[in-house]
Amino acid sequence: MSLKKITRCGGMEFRWGERTYMMGIVNTTPDSFSGDGNNDIEAAVAQGCRFAEEGADILDIGGESTRPGFTEVSEEEEIRRVVPVIEQLAARTKAPLSIDTTKYEVARQAVAAGAVIINDQWGLKTEPRLAELAAKNNVPLVLMSNQRDIGGYDAKAGRDTASYSDVMAEVIASLRQSVKTAEQAGVPKENIIIDPGIGFGKTWQQDIEIIRQLWELRVMGRPILVGTSRKSLIKMVLNLPANQRVEGTAATVAVSIANGADIVRVHDVKQMARVCKMTDAIVRGI
């Protein structure tokens, strides 16, 4: 299936296939699994500005942890965390801003404050109105395949558990349904980005299998976003804490690009910018 080559986002054009784009993660939560959360507006804004200077093409702002077993926050609290950060970053950087949320009102206020991408980790399963919001505002929508509703969680081990006969088939089926919901709500095909959901309702072995077979997602005909940064698959292989997983992240980023990723979502922007540039030189010849 052919990939529509351009997605317009704010004042930027994403020309898929020409290079890898990088999404820098700006957490405004005190309980991020990665240990980089900022429960302070100025610190989060400073981090976002630094990421833009270091080469992030997109800044993804989130106000609720998505780690396995996370504690939900209220809609009001999430808005309090993210909207001031988005307002300030919109005024201080040119990088397109993404709101990482599953809540309609949070996304609505974030878009009003300057966010130009909606990143839904549930792929419209829990809040289909996010597609209507994306269509109304003509902003790109990231749809992630999240299997936590059919998988499980091992609280003692602190990780997702799941059993599938074919994990890629499950991911593709999930994404097809999400894309159908988005298109029925009026989201143009060129505004849809897909994410296989590394670490969301899959075991770490299944996460590795998804990276290995990422090229299969090309059947969807949409740009592919991959988020492996500091995640538990790296912990399980290297037995390292989150703040020591930069090399493991680099390996997963490079292989993901080689296997078809168009966007990588990362915590370590400066280092991963170099990984993307080197990998693109090999894979894309640029």
Q: Is 189 a residue of the active site? A: no
The catalytic position among 125, 159, 202, 231 is: 231
Question: How far apart are the C-alpha atoms of 176 and 170, rounded to whole Å?
Answer: 10
- CA neighbor of 58 nearest in space, from 102, 80, 86, 25: 25
Residue 280, token pair as written in the block: 């693109």
Q: Is 265 a residue of the active site? A: yes
The catalytic position among 103, 235, 245, 265 is: 265
> Which residues are known catalytic residues?
231, 265
